[in-house]
A and B are shown apart, each in its own frame.
Chain A
Amino acid sequence: MDFSLNEEQRAWQLKAREFAKSEIRPISIQRDQIEGGFGPWDWDIIEKGSRLGFRTLAVPKEWGGPGTDFVTQTLVMMELAKGDSAICKAFSQNWKWSHLIASACNDDQKDRFLKPFIADDRYLIGRGITEPNAGCDNRLPPKDDPRSGYKLHAERDGDFWILNGEKCFIANGSVGSLFFLDARTDPTADITRGGTLFLVPKDTPGFRIGKIFNKRGWRFYQNAELIFENARVPHVNVVGSVGTGSVKAGGGDTTGGDLFGDLELAANAVGVCDDAVEMAMEFSDTHKRGGKYLIEHQLIQLNINEMNMLTEALRSFVMRVAWEHDQGKRSATGVLMVNYSTDVIQRVTKLNMEIHGIEGSRMNARVDKLVRDAMVWSHLAGDTVLRLKAVSKLDFPHAKSRNSEAKVTASEAAE
């Protein structure tokens, strides 16, 4: 085993650390405290980060990007998230779709979309899967209900597809220039066969942004409604082929970015935990309760121990999975890791709040922000479903015979 980083990985890590410290951190609380859904957004920090390469970090070398590996991307997210979890996510969201373009799009599509993406500091990408009545169903479609899952309707009209329907909570929705869109091309088949993945630029006629969501955590990060009213998307924007299911079209993508999706959330969580640990240690070393420095109290020592313990365990888990991803290995560890990161980030930020407590009915704004940001992990990508999904990826010794038994029962019932 070798845990050392190579020069390129180390260079990106330091560059991200410096950017997080000098540019992200100073605006973090200020943006977080602006009311409204769109209010906290700031193009300036996106442009600054983009010029340093943080927007296009995952674009392959042959298409003009730095072509960094998963380990590098993980290190960069840990650093950026320590500055601000939501701002980090606004950058890494683009890496997710850079991966998808690289793995699922044809050369014509890469040419048409990756080039403007690289050229424009404000070009952001998103993916619309979720709809008001299709959340968990997109992840774990129920076998007995083929109509469940996304319903956004796509109908062929010559060289075009006509899209009608609505997506909600879509990341980068209000600021994106390009969206991957999961639509139903066959409403009678389930989404694994009746779904198709499209590329939809923001200036597509008939496509507009609806409500911009106002969240408790990750306030900087944008989530919006996408509304399609007879939107015309050219057939050449179909990813893969029609009716293969958008998941298959995306190269097996189920988490929005496949291998990267799980890694993204877990690496971001490490950055937040690092932030919380640093705050807790600084505070307990400088503030007193009952006449003694906090760190002299065993209650606080126990909290500090647990915070460090969990953070280091998560860091090891995340780095291991990043390394496995770079080796092209697929297993249940990715989804297990993201589930673990949810527990860890929420526990660690809560312990930090316990250490700070309140002073004169005031709470440290950043302590509160970390708790609010951490809460988002339970509400992303169907948290409970991810926990169930992890089980579906594990090998059970009797799965084969159990499934055939179930089939027999089902056919008996049909008779």
Chain B
Amino acid sequence: MFNLHLTAEQIEFRDTVRSFAMNEIRPLAIHPERLESFNKPLLRVLLDKASELGLRTLTLSEEFGGVGADTMTSCIVFEELAAGDVDIAIMLGQTSLLGDLLFDHWMEDSQRDIFLPRFIEDETFHLSCAGPIPEISNSWCYHENLPQEPNAGPIAVREGNEWMIDGSVSYVANAPIAEFFIVMAQTGLDGSGTDGTKGLLVPRNTPGLTINAVDNVVGKSDINWSHGCGAGVEFNSCKVPLENQICKDEKIPIVSEHYSRQMSLQRAAINLGLGRAAFDAAVEYAKIRRQGGRNIVEHQAIGKKIADMAIKLELASTIIWKAAWVADHPEVIADRSVSDLPQHTIANTFTAEAVHDVTLIAAECFGAMGVMRDMPAQKYVNDGFMFLHSDINDISARLPIAEKVVNYHRSKAA
């Protein structure tokens, strides 16, 4: 059985978000002044409006006040949002993803009682996660064990009724807007025996927590390379009560395959939304730009570009839907309907390449206008390069697929 029908609810949700993204977000997102600036403003008002549509709590279960969307619906909706603005989609996506993990999986009832009501009531309440996502760097260790690397990132030491955190993380997504941080801290380095990575909740106003903006400064040898918003975060003898520890039950791993799977699927969907925005812009322009005695859409050279873009976007959409369906219905692997390859990795790496190509082709349709900073085409190209080289994607990102093909298993460390 193969069925591509969306539910009536999914279609309605998609159309609502599409209309909001097209009518309200996109005009401001591609305003020439925003495009020209090296530090583009965040569109905070629109972020809050998008929250009100339910996107901030999209994947949080209905039981806890969220929308309770499955992976498939989440992908469809975030694609639409990203077609309006990638940055808003990344910021809301992060909170939505962490909200589900935190309240549905990582917290105990007593913690939910304290934190959940504020999260649900306040549409400007965002979440952030400070710590490494180790799964991703593993792809460079193809058919090899992971090297012993020195502990980077924050460490936590138990002091009486508190955890004391020290250390820093150079870039934390959503840090500028987050109400609290899920800190993945190394513990046990003091010899107390409680070693491993612990999840600690640190409210924004906790003494000892510093958030350092990462602006682009003229003449620096490196530049900020991320969507949404982020900041460096520092912990100096930053103390939180023991009750702020999440995943106390050792059976709930804070760094899980579930986390990286959901994250890469959501990113792929957002990436696809970017491709759609570039495609739309190119097609609209090709219909009205006249050269060679006709509107350029009628030239074969442009027709080929439009067809190539459409092929790439349709294929990306197909693999994202497939991977999302598999995430929601793991039984399709168990009953051998679908191969047990990491579909989310296939979706993410394919989409990043495909959309990158689409943004370049789209820009070509604009001629010289394609490189002008007050026009959107060059922004889409830049965004496409960012997805291609991101915290979860680089040229090694596909290697785990090959490892899975031959069922390679590595031990945790050398």
Chain A residues near B (Cβ < 8 Å): 29-30, 33-36, 130, 133, 135-137, 140, 142, 144-145, 148, 168-169, 213-218, 289-292, 297, 299, 303, 346, 353-354, 356-366, 368, 371, 375-376, 378-380, 382-384, 387-388
List of 5 A-B pairs having minimum Cβ-Cβ separation, nearest first: A291-B147, A290-B140, A142-B293, A361-B171, A363-B225
Which A residues touch B293, using CB under 8 A? 142, 144-145, 148
13 A–B contacts from the bound complex (CB under 8 Å): A136-B291, A136-B292, A168-B368, A217-B371, A289-B137, A290-B141, A299-B396, A353-B389, A358-B225, A363-B223, A364-B221, A365-B221, A378-B363
Residue contact B216 to A214, C-beta cutoff 8 Å: no
B160 at interface, CB cutoff 8 A: no
Residue contact B390 to A135, C-beta cutoff 8 Å: no
Residue contact B391 to A216, C-beta cutoff 8 Å: no
Considering only CB atoms, which chain B residue lies closest to A300 in the complex?
A: B395
Considering only CB atoms, which chain B residue lies closest to A355 in the complex?
A: B395
The minimal Cβ–Cβ distance linking B24 to chain A, given in whole angstroms, is 26
A290-B137, A299-B396 known; A33 vs B367 contact (CB < 8 Å): no
B149 at interface, CB cutoff 8 A: yes
Residue contact B364 to A379, C-beta cutoff 8 Å: yes
Which A residues touch B374, using CB under 8 A? 214
B224 at interface, CB cutoff 8 A: yes
Find B38's partner among A33, A354, A358, A384 (CB 8 Å cutoff): A33
B337 at interface, CB cutoff 8 A: no
Which B residues touch A364, using CB under 8 A? 221-222
Which B residues touch A358, using CB under 8 A? 225, 389-391, 394
Considering only CB atoms, which chain A residue lies closest to B366 in the complex?
A: A379
Residue contact A362 to B171, C-beta cutoff 8 Å: yes
Please count how many residues in chain B sit with their CB below 8 Å of the partner chain's CB atoms: 57
**Inter-chain contact total with CB atoms closer than 8 Å:** 151
Considering only CB atoms, which chain A residue lies closest to B290 in the complex?
A: A133
Which A residues touch B149, using CB under 8 A? 291
Residue contact A215 to B373, C-beta cutoff 8 Å: yes
Considering only CB atoms, which chain B residue lies closest to A130 in the complex?
A: B368
Q: Give the contact stretch, choosing among B243-251, B276-284, B377-385.
A: B377-385
Rounded to whole angstroms, the CA-CA distance of A366 and B302 in the bound complex is 32
B406 at interface, CB cutoff 8 A: no
Residue contact B385 to A371, C-beta cutoff 8 Å: yes
Which A residues touch B394, using CB under 8 A? 354, 357-358
Considering only CB atoms, which chain B residue lies closest to A135 in the complex?
A: B367
Which B residues touch A137, using CB under 8 A? 291-292
The minimal Cβ–Cβ distance linking A173 to chain B, given in whole angstroms, is 13
Find A368's partner among B223, B368, B391 (CB 8 Å cutoff): B223
Considering only CB atoms, which chain B residue lies closest to A298 in the complex?
A: B142
Rounded to whole angstroms, the CA-CA distance of A382 and B38 in the bound complex is 27
Residue contact A365 to B222, C-beta cutoff 8 Å: yes
Rounded to whole angstroms, the CA-CA distance of A168 and B374 in the bound complex is 15
Which B residues touch A34, using CB under 8 A? 218
Which B residues touch A148, using CB under 8 A? 291-293
B341 at interface, CB cutoff 8 A: no
Which residues of chain B from 58 to 99 have any CB-CB distance to chain A below 8 Å in the complex?
none
A-B contact sample (18 more), CB < 8 A, given A214-B374, A365-B220: A33-B216, A33-B219, A35-B36, A36-B36, A130-B368, A136-B367, A137-B291, A142-B292, A216-B371, A353-B388, A354-B389, A354-B395, A358-B225, A361-B171, A361-B225, A364-B222, A375-B363, A383-B364
